[in-house]
Structure 1
Amino acid sequence: MTDADIRVLHHLEQFVSEHKKQVMEKVLNDRTRHVTVMLEDIFQSQNASAVIRTVECMGLQDVHIVENLAKYQLNVRVLKGSYKWLNLERYRSQEENNTEVCFKRLKAAGYRIMVADPDEDGVSIHDVDITAGRVALLFGNELRGISPYAREHADQRIRIPMYGFTESLNISVSVAMCLNVLITKLHQSDFNFRLSEQEKQIIRLHWFRKMVRKSDVIEREFLRTIQ
Structure 2
Amino acid sequence: MPERLPNEKNMFDGLSAEQKQQLYDRAADFFSDNKRQLFDRLVQNRTRHIAVVLENIYQSHNASAVLRSCDCFGVQDVHVVEDRNPFNPAGDVAVGSSKWVDYYKHADIEAAYAHLRSKGYRIVATLPHEKDTMITELPIDQPTALVFGTELTGLSEKAVELADAYVKIPMYGFTESFNISVCAALSLFYLTEKMRASDIKWRLSDEEQTTLKLFWAMQAIRDGEKVVEKLKDEMTS
> Structure 2 length normalisation: TM-score?
0.88
| Identity rate, percent | 37
Aligned partners of 2:131 and 2:165 also within 8 Å? no
Q: Which runs of 5+ in 2 are unaligned?
A: 1-11
Distance 1:52 1:127, change over 3 A: same
Aligned to 1:191: 200
Aligned residues: 221
Aligned to 1:20: 35
The question of 1:29 aligning with 2:38 is answered no
Q: Could you tell me which amino acid in structure 2 is paired with residue 35 of structure 1?
A: I
Distance 1:215 1:163, change over 3 A: same
Distance 1:137 1:25, change over 3 A: same
The question of 1:164 aligning with 2:173 is answered yes
What is the CA-CA distance between 1:73 and the residue it aligns to?
A: 0.8
Q: Which runs of 5+ in 1 are unaligned?
A: none
Aligned to 1:218: 227
- Distance between the aligned counterparts of 2:80 and 2:194, measured in 1? 25
Matches within 5 A, 1:43-54: 43-54=58-69
Aligned partners of 1:9 and 1:204 also within 8 Å? yes
What is the CA-CA distance between 1:74 and the residue it aligns to?
A: 2.0
Q: Could you tell me which amino acid in structure 2 is paired with residue 215 of structure 1?
A: G
Distance 1:224 1:138, change over 3 A: closer
What is the CA-CA distance between 1:119 and the residue it aligns to?
A: 4.4
- Distance between the aligned counterparts of 1:217 and 1:37, measured in 2? 30
Distance 1:202 1:113, change over 3 A: same
Residue-by-residue CA offset, 1:121-153 (whole Å, 9 max, x unaligned): 5200010112x2111000111111111111111
What is the CA-CA distance between 1:221 and the residue it aligns to?
A: 4.4
Distance 1:14 1:114, change over 3 A: same
Distance 1:145 1:14, change over 3 A: same
- Distance between the aligned counterparts of 1:225 and 1:113, measured in 2? 42
Aligned partners of 2:56 and 2:149 also within 8 Å? yes
> Structure 1 length normalisation: TM-score?
0.91
